[in-house]
Every structure is written in structure tokens, then in C-alpha cells.
Amino acid sequence: MMDKDRVKRLVREMIAEIGEDPTREGLLDTPGRIADMYEEIFSGYDAESELSVKFSEDSDVIVAKDIQFYSMCEHHMLPFFGKIHIAYSPDGKVFGISKLVRLVEKYTKRLQIQERITKNIADELHSEGVKGVVVIIEGEHFCMKMRGVKNDAKMTTVAYRGIYEKKEYRPDILAMIHKSSSETKIV
């Protein structure tokens, strides 16, 4: 649990170090707002994914596309955001879509890097006894846009688990993911 009074004190100090006056009117409530915001955007550390809740269902492949995410890069504490596509081959039981969204929030609402989020989601789903998982993340990073190389490039990361570690199983599931996604092209 976050000590919000401590966060407020530290933000006030940071504002002063930036060269601002933390007591001027516009900045007075800023430390409190940031403390509240951090509690929300870093809530992944206390989150449960609830993947143990499953339905019996017969389906070869399930695809959850375009799950919106927002995260904070651990190198610069700047936002990165984008879309997550999750596809899996169930072993008789399927997850509700809300549980997949909760899983995404568990791993994105932290200090993170995109590559690790991709692995975290794939590993947790795979550990729930599915035959195979593909996770694709397309992300845009503010630490690339507004500092350093100042480039708008999007980054795509992919993780394969279970049967999809074998290349011959991938074409069908990737085709399903691509079907209505205009930008992703993974081979």
C-alpha cells in the first residue's frame, strides 16, 4: 500500500527542484493529485487476475483483440500505451473477456517495459492450463516521442507459449488476429 502523504512530500520536493514554486496556486494541489493518480495507475501491484474463473466451452481458438492499455515505462516513468491482442487455444475451458482485461491491467498498471508485459500475460495464461497462447502488443512510447530520438515509431512485441512455440501451428491463429486488425502484420 502506498504512503500517499510521503508521495505528496516527494512530489513537492521534485517541483521545487524543477525550479518551480510548489506553493503557487496552480501547483498547490498537484502533489495530492499525483498521489491519487499513482494509486490508480500503479494499482497492478495489488491486482488479482481471477483467471481461475472459467466456463466450459468447446472452441479451438479464442481471440480477444484490441484491448486498450496504458502503462508507465520503468526507465523514464513516462506513459506508453496501445493495444494488446490475446489469442489462445483452450483445453475445454475458456476465460471471460473481463478476466483477460483484468489480466492486462494487472501487468500494465505498474512500472514496466513492453517486452515484459507481453511475457507476463503469456506466462500467466499458459500456467492456467491452456494448450497455447499468443500475445501481441503494439505500443507507442512517450519516452521515444518527446525525448531522446523523438520518433513516433510503434513497437510490436510477441510471445508464443505452448503449441504456438511450434511455427506450424501459428498461421491460423495469426490470420485470426490479423483479420480485422489493419496495422499488425506478424510472420
Please report, as a single letter, which amino acid is at residue 16. A
For residues 90 and 59, the answer to whether their CB atoms sit within 8 Å is yes
Active site residue 76: yes
Which alpha helices (DSSP H) does the chain contain, by range? Answer: 4-18, 25-28, 30-41, 97-108, 114-126, 142-145, 170-178
Write out the three cell numbers for 30.
498537484
Within 10 Å of residue 40's Cβ, how many Cβ atoms? 8
CB of residue 78 to Zn ion, shortest distance in Å: 6
What SS3 state is found at 35? helix
Cβ at position 102, least distance to Zn ion in Å:
25
114 is catalytic: yes
CB 122 within 8 A of CB 92: no
Range 65-94, binding Zn ion (CB under 5 A): 73, 75-76
**Is 13 a known active-site residue?**
no
Q: Contact at 8 Å (CB) between 180 and 65?
A: yes
Nearer to Zn ion, 76 or 102 (CB): 76
Identify which of 53, 109, 60 has the alpha carbon closest to the alpha carbon of residue 87: 60
Examine the residue annotation and report whether 141 is marked as an active-site residue of this protein.
Answer: yes
Residues in the interface with Zn ion (CB under 5 A) total 4
The footprint of Zn ion on residues 94-153 (CB under 5 A) is 143
Would you say 33 or 75 has its CB closer to Zn ion? 75
Pairing of strands 111-112, 93-95: unpaired
Beta carbon nearer to Zn ion, 6 or 75? 75
Q: Which is nearer to Zn ion, 12 or 141 (CB)?
A: 141
Least CB distance to Zn ion at residue 178 (A)? 28
Name the catalytic one among 105, 112, 114, 126: 114
- CB 137 → Zn ion: shortest distance, Å? 15
Q: Identify the active-site residue in 141, 165, 168, 178.
A: 141
Tell me which residues touch Zn ion (CB under 5 A).
73, 75-76, 143
Which residue numbers are catalytic? 73-76, 114, 141, 143
